[in-house]
């Protein structure tokens, strides 16, 4: 029997970090081996599993990134862009695999991830939910089938504490539609409308953002035609689906060669 994949969780004291830790009991092929958070985090030194509401696992919440990376097979990062870059550098030095769930990365930071993936296996996805990645498949099929005769609008909603907008998932959905229609999202995206905007450009992909309450994540892509409307919607009621998908990606990534992968590779959609 293969040994479980040893995994470090970065941002372990945060909401997503705790959800990841809570998912380990249902993933026997994964072993919770290290938990990291920022220096100065008030929970440092406490048992990370207990912080997540589970029985003690003997894994204290630490801040020594290099030591944690050295002790595991795969690092799972859901932090902030600067934290992700630090994790990327540490994984490069140690030759370890990295699962990136952070959104809001700059073009330069994305380029650094692409460069690092020439040396280590990296899985980067805007969303690790199996349902969201199924929606991406459906969006490509829908866009190709409906073609140019439909206007595309994307509406997303998240909790009040989310710091980037539109969400990484909304942007990835826009990219999927744009690619299927032979467009570049950066050339056709509209991120806000106000005042007298004029008539709608047929090639536009519009984004609307809602922030408030404790919404985990709602995304709807609308294809609006003459006489009909097609909508593809995904609504997340907890972070557990993202966490389960990220652990699945980490286990899968542990046996892969260097390269840049996403959740659709993990699910076999990109074969």
Contact call for residues 205 and 154 (beta carbons, < 8 A)? yes
* Rounded Cα gap, residues 177 and 185, in angstroms: 9
113 three-state secondary structure: helix
Per annotation, catalytic residue among 158, 159, 235, 271: 158
Q: Is 271 a catalytic residue?
A: no
* Rounded Cα gap, residues 104 and 110, in angstroms: 10
The residues facing 207 across adjacent strands are 154
Per annotation, catalytic residue among 96, 162, 219, 234: 162
* Rounded Cα gap, residues 116 and 181, in angstroms: 30
Please list, residue by residue across 195-229, b when 16 or more beta carbons sit within 10 angstroms of its beta carbon and e when fewer do: eeeeeeeeeebbbbbeeeeebbbbbbbbbeeeeee
The residues facing 62 across adjacent strands are 36
Q: Is 158 a catalytic residue?
A: yes
Nearest to 246 by CA among 43, 3, 8, 1: 8
CA 49 to the chain's CA centroid: 22
Asked if the peptide bond before residue 191 counts as cis, ω within 30 degrees of 0, the response is no
Q: Which helix (H) or strand (E) holds 115?
A: helix 107-116
What is the set of active-site residues? 158, 162
């Amino acid at each position: 029997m293969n040994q479980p994949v040893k995994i470090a969780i970065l941002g372990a004291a945060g909401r997503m970090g705790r959800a990841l830790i809570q998912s380990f009991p249902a993933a026997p092929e994964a072993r919770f081996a290290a938990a990291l958070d920022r220096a100065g985090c008030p929970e440092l030194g406490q048992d990370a599993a207990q912080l997540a509401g589970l029985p003690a696992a003997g894994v204290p919440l630490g801040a020594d990134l290099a030591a944690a990376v050295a002790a595991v097979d795969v690092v799972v990062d859901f932090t902030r862009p600067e934290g992700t870059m630090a994790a990327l550098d540490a994984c490069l030095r140690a030759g370890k695999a990295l699962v990136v769930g952070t959104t809001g990365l700059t073009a330069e930071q994305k380029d650094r991830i692409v460069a690092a993936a020439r040396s280590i296996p990296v899985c980067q996805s805007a969303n690790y939910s199996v349902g969201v990645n199924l929606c991406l498949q459906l969006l490509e099929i829908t866009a190709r089938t409906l073609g140019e005769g439909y206007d595309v609008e994307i509406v997303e909603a998240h909790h009040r504490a989310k710091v980037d907008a539109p969400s990484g998932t909304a942007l990835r959905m826009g990219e999927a539609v744009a690619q299927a229609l032979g467009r570049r999202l950066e050339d056709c995206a509209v991120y806000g409308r106000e005042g007298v905007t004029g008539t709608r450009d047929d090639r536009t992909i519009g984004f609307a953002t809602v922030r408030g309450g404790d919404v985990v994540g709602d995304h709807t892509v609308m294809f609006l035609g003459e006489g009909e409307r097609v909508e593809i919607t995904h609504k997340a009621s907890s972070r557990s689906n993202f966490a389960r998908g990220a652990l699945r990606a980490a286990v899968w990534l542990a046996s892969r060669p260097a390269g840049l992968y996403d959740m659709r590779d993990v699910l076999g959609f990109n074969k």
